[in-house]
Each structure stands twice: as C-alpha cells, then as structure tokens.
Chains A and B, each alone.
Chain A
Amino acid sequence: MIAVLALIAGVVLGVVLNPTVPDALQPYLPIAVVAALDAVFGGVRAKLDGIFDDKQFVISFISNVLVAGFIVYLGDKLGVGSQLSIGVVVVLGVRIFGNVAAIRRRLFKA
C-alpha cells in the first residue's frame, strides 16, 4: 500500500519538479520505463502471491533498468540499436503480460 502511495507521489513529484533529462540519457528513457514496469508488475504479482521481498524488488528494478539500458547502448554502438530495443521491449512485454495475467487470475479468479 505504502509502495503504491510512493509510486503516486513519485509521479506527482516528477510532474512538479519536471527535471531535465540529459540528452545522452534520453534514448534510454522509454526502455527504462518498460523495464521499471516489468519490475513493478513482478512486485505486484509477488505481493499477491504473498512472497513479496523488498530486496528482491529493488534489485530486480535496478538490474532491469541497467541491463535494458546497457543492451540498448550496446546496440547503438553496434548499429542495431533499434532492433535490440525491440528485442528488449518484446521480452519485457511478454513478462509484463505474464505477470498481469497472473495478477488477473488471482484478483478475479479468471
């Protein structure tokens, strides 16, 4: 619950502060968002499963964002940046869908 509040507070804070993102980091922002979404839905599912773990959540978030960003960075350097971003989005998207499906089953029993 407090995590959800923190999430909302973060959104509000981001809107209010509106920090400028350095140009070098801008290409990684969308990928970071998808990676963060994956961590969030994983955490929600774990919470519903009753096995949520703070450390696991934080580390999965950080590593998700870093690995996704690194893959895209590597892709940019190799000239396959957009293709690798698609790969990252597909994999994370599949995970998000799986987790959301599990959440849905748990919440609605359907």
Chain B
Amino acid sequence: MSERSERPERAERPEGQEPGAPAPRQFPTDMLSELFQSPLDAGYADAARARGERGPLPATTRRLRRVVTVVACLIIGILFSVAYLQVVERAPARATARAGLIQDMKQRQAHTDDLARQAETLQAEVFRMREEALADTSLGQLRELEAATGMRKVTGDGVVVTLADGPNAANERLARVLDIDLQLVTNALWAAGAEAVSVNGQRLTSVTPIRGAGSAIIVGNSHVIGPYQVAAIGPPEMVDRFNDSQTAAVYRSIAGDKQQELGFEVDERDDLELPAAVLPRLQYAVVPKPSASGSPSPSTSPSGGGK
C-alpha cells in the first residue's frame, strides 16, 4: 500500500463499486504514464477505504462473496486450460491433415505403379499369345515393325546422352534443361540413325510428345526429372554422327558456358535395353456417313478410343 498512499485520490471508479465514496473526479493528463504508474484497479483501494469507513460487512455477505470469488477462480482456471488445449489441439489438426494428404498421395502412386506393372504383364501375355498364333514369316515382320514403332522392348548397343540442370538452375532459367532441349537431342539422335529412343526409361514412339508443363517435363504420359538420360539404340556409326551433329556442338558450347553450365555427356553403351512404349490410343480416320442433307464432306474426323 506504500506506493498507493503517495498517489492522489481518485474517484475514477470501475463499475460495480460501492456508491457513497464521493471524491473529486480527476482525470490524469497523460493516459499512458498513468497506465504505467498505476496498474492496480483503483477499485481495490476504494473498496478498502469504504470498508474502513463503514466497517466490515455481515459475515453471511462476506461468505457469499468468498464463494463467488472461488467460482470466479475456478472459471479462470478452466479458461486457462481450455485455451491451452485449444492451441495444442489445433496444431496436430494441421499436421494430421498434411500427413493424410501425403499418405493419400503415396497410396495413389503405389496404385499407379501396380496398374503399370499389371499392364506390362498383360502386354507380355498378349505378345506371347500372338506369337503362338502367328506364322513365322508374318511374325518376323511384325517384330520388326513393333521394334521400329516402339511397341516392343528392344536391346542393343547404342548411346546414352545425359542432360542435367546447371548448378544454379534454381535461380537461372537458362541453366535448366527444357523440353526443347530434349526434343532437339532426340531429333538429332533420330537423324543420326537411331532405331529406338527412350528418355528416362520412357520409350518414344512416333506420336510421343515431349513437352513442358510448368517447370516439369512430360514425356508421353509421365513426367520425368533430371538428370535426363536419352538412350538410343542404333548402328555403330550413330555415335560419331551424333557427336558431329550441330545439336551436339551447340550443347557442348552450352555446357561450357559459365552462365548455364548444363550437364551434357555422350556415352557409348553396349547392351542397352529400351522398354516398350505404352500403347498409345489409336485414332482412326473414318469416312462420315452421308448425312440426310446430302453433303458428304470428305473430311475425316478422328474418333478417339476406337480400336
């Protein structure tokens, strides 16, 4: 009570205070300094003074008020723990949502892998059954055609061209391998006489797109990530032809460029094995039926999904 006695009397009473303690109403000039100097509710001092003037309250009233205080303390305690529990509860909710999403993602990925494996075994079965059914001559022809179109797994000697992002690919767009880089390299390989080409294990057919989607590169239906390995099977002279090509020269100079420093390597490899491509959805051109209006248009409309 020592500090409070030095302070001027105030009648700025908080609500719920006993009436009958009139004092001149003063307002502190500086609200902030007042706030810092007297954190205690003036009401306690006023109540104490009133008690001193009026004498102690009846015992029953005092007991009742004590009970109310205890209840208030109980409520404050509940408030503290509830607020704490709220904060604790909300954090795991976020974490569990995240974990759920990750698990979902992994499940789907595993499912996709399963389906791909299933498709592979089924395709192998189809090949086997067809080989049983077909005569030898047409079988050889078919095999050649399939190897050329990417429908059949092929093995042989060839070359692996590795393209990799430069060291500062995160900041420098030019230091990243783009879809056009893969397109140029694969085209150069085809031009050098490649018979089969794959990018990161994705076999290319005549209709397999290599395209950029945002910062990702998509080959066929699946996206590939660096370092990109373009494998090609072809005649022995393919390597030299590719190395002499303008594309290879361009990429060698880019690899030496300080700003880009793309990784570019050409390796000759024996016994490369390129997987079969996923069978593309075949599209057939059909002659439209002459319509009732009698204007048969020769244009063909691709009908997707027809097999």
Across the interface, do B44 and A6 meet the contact criterion of CB distance under 8 Å? no
How far, in whole Å, are A9 and B69 apart by their CA atoms in the complex? 14
Are B43 and A13 within 8 A (Cβ)?
A: no
Contacts of B75 on A, CB cut-off 8 Å? 10, 61
Residue of B nearest to A18 (CB): B85
CB distance from A92 to the nearest CB of B (A): 10
Of A6, A29, A42, which contacts B77 at CB under 8 A? A6
Contact A7 B36 (CB under 8 A): no
B side interface size, CB within 8 A:
41
In the complex the two chains form, is B69's CB within 8 Å of A54's CB?
yes
Cα A51 to Cα B45 with chains together (Å):
7
Say yes or no: B35 contacts A51, CB within 8 Å. no
Size range of the chain A interface in the assembly:
35 or more
Number of A-B contacts (CB under 8 A): 150
User: Which residues on A sit within 8 Å (CB–CB) of B78?
Assistant: 10-11, 13-14, 17, 19
Q: Which residues of B contact A42 (CB under 8 A)?
A: 39-41, 44
B82 in contact (CB, < 8 A): yes
Nearest A residue to B75 via CB reads A10
CB distance from B32 to the nearest CB of A (A): 9
**B1 near A51 (CB under 8 angstroms)?**
yes
19 contacts between A and B (CB under 8 A): A6-B74, A10-B73, A10-B74, A10-B77, A10-B80, A12-B81, A19-B78, A21-B86, A32-B83, A33-B80, A42-B41, A51-B44, A51-B48, A53-B44, A53-B51, A56-B43, A60-B43, A61-B72, A96-B39
Contacts from B to A (Cβ < 8 Å): 1, 3-4, 14-17, 35-41, 43-45, 47-48, 51, 62, 65-66, 68-83, 85-86
Extra 8 A-B pairs, beta carbons < 8 Å, given A21-B86, A42-B40, A55-B68? A7-B73, A14-B81, A18-B82, A29-B79, A29-B82, A32-B79, A53-B51, A55-B65
Q: Which 10 A-B pairs have the closest CB atoms?
A: A10-B77, A98-B39, A14-B81, A54-B65, A51-B48, A59-B16, A6-B73, A14-B78, A53-B47, A10-B74
